[in-house]
Amino acid sequence: MFISINQLNKQFLDKNDQPTTVLKDIELDIEKGEFVSILGPSGCGKSTLLSIVAGLTSATNGEILVEDKKITKPGKDRGMVFQEAALFPWINVIENVMFPLKKEMSKQEATAQAKKYLQMVQLSNYLEHYPHELSGGMQQRVSIARALAMDPEILLMDEPFGALDEQTRTRLHGQLEEIWIKTKKTVLFVTHSISESIKLSDRIIVMGTRPGTILTDIKVDIPRPRREHKEDMLELEEHVMSYLKKEIDKVVSEELNHETSH
């Protein structure tokens, strides 16, 4: 198996120094080239799980293996795209994409690599622009190009379109799908949008909360491009929602109980 997550647990200390379990007994296998979405309500630990796969956060116990090698720290095999584009404001678009490449290759190679991926995200006309001159969607495309330019085997995306308006988001879905088909990357994509996960994924991992656990693993058998299969998508959306509704109800009732007991 390409990525194996085995018996993964994560605890944090709360403000009273009491351990809180954020992730409990997470078991997940992902094949090379798969596009897998992790979906769940706020606070279910999906971003924490992605951060552990990235090597930015350590697990309390359990392990993550990529091609049988244990993950303990960030690596070139994993590229990360965050919800905010996190670009350097003082350098232009092409320099932002070249920045992590400079240690790895000559300036000429880094420039060619950066141009290739900026063309892939349709920003060839904006190489000399600075981040503040770009829209939010364009900034996010720069950060996707930067992650891809490192040529990681795995692309980790933490709600990358969460802050964007609906039209921009829809356009970027199409671009991301094209890039994924072209590059054959393995993608692990965190979202709280059911429709987004159905549009993009081969599989949807639905997480429950308090503690974060995997409720179900749904295979998306709808042919691509999926916009041509609206009925199938709506049917699957209802199926996924039936799992999430229980979790959201659970969170709401816990919060109400908490408020009434104080």
Check whether residue 29 and residue 143 sit in a common domain: no
Query: For residue range 64-119, what is the model confidence (pLDDT) as tens digits?
Result: 999 999 999 999 999 999 999 989 999 999 999 999 998 889 999 999 999 999 99
**Domain-located, residue 217:** yes
The last residue of a domain, from among 151, 184, 201:
151
**Domain-located, residue 104:** yes
Check whether residue 163 and residue 37 sit in a common domain: yes
Check whether residue 11 and residue 25 sit in a common domain: yes
Query: For residue range 149-178, what is the model confidence (pLDDT) as tens digits?
Result: 999 999 999 999 988 999 999 999 999 999
Amino acid letter for position 255 = E
Beta strands 203-208; 213-219: pairing state? antiparallel
**Domain-located, residue 213:** yes
Provide the domain limits for residue 160. 3-77+154-228
Q: Residue 245 — very low, low, confident or very high, per pLDDT cuts 50/70/90?
A: confident
Check whether residue 215 and residue 177 sit in a common domain: yes
Q: Which residues pair with residue 217 across a beta bridge?
A: 205
Check whether residue 98 and residue 216 sit in a common domain: no
What mean pLDDT value characterizes the chain? 93
Q: Per the structure block, which two tokens stand in for 189?
A: 């994509």
The last residue of a domain, from among 151, 167, 199:
151
CA atoms within 13 A on the CB side of 151: 7
Q: pLDDT value at position 14?
A: 84
Check whether residue 104 and residue 50 sit in a common domain: no
CA 70 to chain centroid: 20
Q: Per the structure block, which two tokens stand in for 95?
A: 């320099």
Query: For residue range 204-233, what is the model confidence (pLDDT) as tens digits?
Result: 999 998 899 999 999 999 999 888 899 999
Q: pLDDT value at position 157?
A: 97
**Domain-located, residue 42:** yes
Rounded to 5°, angle at Cα 221 from 229 and 187: 105
Closest Cα partner for 69 from 153, 137, 147, 150? 153
Beta carbons of 91 and 142 less than 8 angstroms apart: no
**Domain-located, residue 100:** yes
Number of domains in the chain: 2
pLDDT for residue 234 is more than 80: yes
**Domain-located, residue 142:** yes
pLDDT for residue 253 is more than 80: no
**Domain-located, residue 247:** no
Check whether residue 94 and residue 146 sit in a common domain: yes
The last residue of a domain, from among 151, 185, 206:
151
Beta carbons of 129 and 93 less than 8 angstroms apart: yes
Q: pLDDT value at position 188?
A: 98
Check whether residue 50 and residue 95 sit in a common domain: no
- pTM value is 0.93
